[in-house]
Amino acid sequence: MQMDAIIPKLKLVALLVLAVLAIVMVIQNTQAVATRLLFVTVSMPLAALLVLTLLIGFAGGVLVALKVGKPRA
């Protein structure tokens, strides 16, 4: 087998492993937690809080990468 045929299969396996880990995380973290943000207290499942935190961090990373990647005029 050539590397061109192996890499897509490795990507698929990695994606499946990450999906299974995400499902296990959601199943194990269904208890509600109270989260305070300034003056607001929100109660939500821990898994939802983790996903929200992940998305905020990802968006921040994308914004920083876009800012850093631009050539200076």
Q: Do 46 and 29 touch, CB atoms closer than 8 A?
A: yes
The pLDDT tens digits for 23-55 are 888 888 889 999 998 899 999 999 888 888 888
Which residues, including other chains, have CB under 8 Å from residue 49's CB and lie 6 or more apart?
33, 35
Cα distance between residue 45 and residue 53, in whole Å: 13
Per-chain mean pLDDT for the chain: 85
Residue 63, pLDDT above cutoff 60: yes
Which residues, including other chains, have CB under 8 Å from residue 42's CB and lie 6 or more apart?
34, 35, 36
| Model confidence pTM above 0.95 | no
